[in-house]
Every structure is written in C-alpha cells, then in structure tokens.
C-alpha cells in the first residue's frame, strides 16, 4: 500500500527557533499533500493544502508567514514553523493523495510529528 513518511517523528525546540518537518510519499507521486494539526483529544484541523510547483492554499486563521510550506517535488512537501512559540506545540500530520487515483481517493497519512516548544 501507499506509504507516507514524516521526519522528524518528534522535536523539542526553544521558543523563537524554526522547525522544518518533511513529508514524503515513498512509493507514489503526490501532486497534492495536506498538512494537519491535532491538539490532544481534538479532531484533525486542516492547515493548508500543498500543491507541487505552486503556492500552498491556507485555511482561514492559519498564518502563511508563520507556517511556510514548500512542495518542491512530487514526493516531498515541507512545513516550516517559523519563530515557534509554546502555543505551536502540537501533533503535525501530513497526508498525500496518489496522483494516479481519482480526486476522491484516499488520503494516505504520515506518522505525524510531535512538536514541543519550550
């Protein structure tokens, strides 16, 4: 089946630093990837839709200058949390949609990255 990886799995950083999270589709190409944030005991919240070769589409309330998304290739999207603060501590999950599947097909999720900002 389709596999999506994320790196790192977890990261602890100091307030004010920037953190980059990578999302890779390992055995398929993904023009579209999605970035979610999930707080404890809450539902997944879509942050942005990442499109290869173009700018990401951000959901309302998500600061595009704070959460920088780069989808440089068909298998890699990165999310950079700039000047992270403790309130950015969360579980960040990416998902990818297989190019060869229809637009309504399943999103395959990465394992998630747990970010803790001290």
- Taking CB under 8 A as the criterion, the residue among 15, 42, 73, 83 binding another protein is 42
What CA–CA distance (Å, rounded) separates 14 from 6? Answer: 21
Residue range at the interface with another protein (CB under 8 A); choices 12-20, 40-48, 60-68, 77-85: 40-48
Residue range at the interface with another protein (CB under 8 A); choices 11-19, 68-76, 77-85, 109-117: 109-117
Q: How far is the CB of 83 from another protein (least distance, A)?
A: 26
Residue range at the interface with another protein (CB under 8 A); choices 13-21, 41-49, 65-73, 82-90: 41-49
The residue (of 20 and 109) whose beta carbon lies closer to another protein is 109
Residue 68 within binding range of another protein, rule CB under 8 A: no
Per-residue H/E/C for the chain? CCCEEEECCEEEECCCCCEEEEEEECCCCCCEEEEEEECCCCCCEEEEEEECCCCCEECCCCCCCCEEEEEEECCEEEEEECCCCHHHCEEEEEEEECCCCCCCCCEEECCCEEEEEC
Residue 58 within binding range of another protein, rule CB under 8 A: no
């Amino acid at each position: 089946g389709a596999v999506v990886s994320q790196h790192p799995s977890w990261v602890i950083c100091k307030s004010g630093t920037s953190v980059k999270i990578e999302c890779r589709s390992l055995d398929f190409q993904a023009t579209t990837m999605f970035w979610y944030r999930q707080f404890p005991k809450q539902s997944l919240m879509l942050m942005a839709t990442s499109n290869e070769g173009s700018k990401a589409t951000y959901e309302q309330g998500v600061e595009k200058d704070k959460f920088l998304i780069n989808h440089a290739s068909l298998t890699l999207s990165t999310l950079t949390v700039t000047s992270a603060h403790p309130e950015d501590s969360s579980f960040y999950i990416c998902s990818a949609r297989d190019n060869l599947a229809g637009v309504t097909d399943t999103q395959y999720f990465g394992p998630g990255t747990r970010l803790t900002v001290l």
